[in-house]
Amino acid sequence: KAGVTQTPRYLIKTRGQQVTLSCSPISGHRSVSWYQQTPGQGLQFLFEYFSETQRNKGNFPGRFSGRQFSNSRSEMNVSTLELGDSALYLCASSHGVPGNTIYFGEGSWLTVV
């Protein structure tokens, strides 16, 4: 059974640009969540999508957005990149019901220069 797949694994962007990250959840999972991990703030929840609808949202500015497609694949977009957006972006998938296991991907390493 394939795990959560994230692409690209590594990318470098310039301040002011935008970036799109992609996540393919485990087959059958309808919930996809995104997290940002930095040395200073740790792992922080960005948002969760379930059946193409945003169901939960963290405390991040509107520059961070996401969407989910009918096949449960998800993308997140960060516009007008800032140096502080440099981080590991993690995608997690699950069946989306309380008590189920939440699996993480390997992450996308974003460096903003």
Partner 1 sequence: QKEVEQDPGPLSVPEGAIVSLNCTYSNSAFQYFMWYRQYSRKGPELLMYTYSSGNKEDGRFTAQVDKSSKYISLFIRDSQPSDSATYLCAMSAGNQGAQKLVFGQGTRLTINP
Nearer to partner 1, 83 or 97 (CB): 97
Whole-angstrom Cα distance, residue 93 to residue 86?
Answer: 23
- Residues 54-83 as x/- pattern, contact with partner 1 by CB under 8 A: -xx-x-------------------------
Nearer to partner 1, 14 or 98 (CB): 98
Stretch that binds partner 1, among 13-21, 31-39, 60-68, 75-83 (CB under 8 A): 31-39
Rule CB under 8 A: say whether 2 interacts with partner 1.
no
Among 17, 8, 10, smallest CA distance to 113 is for: 17
What tokens does 92 get? 């997690």
Rule CB under 8 A: say whether 110 interacts with partner 1.
no
Whole-angstrom Cα distance, residue 37 to residue 8?
Answer: 16
Whole-angstrom Cα distance, residue 17 to residue 86?
Answer: 13
Among 34, 21, 7, 9, smallest CA distance to 93 is for: 34
Nearer to partner 1, 13 or 103 (CB): 103
What tokens does 87 get? 């981080």
In the complex, the residues that contact partner 1 under the rule CB under 8 A are: 4, 31, 33, 35, 42-45, 48, 50, 55-56, 58, 90, 92, 94, 96-107, 109
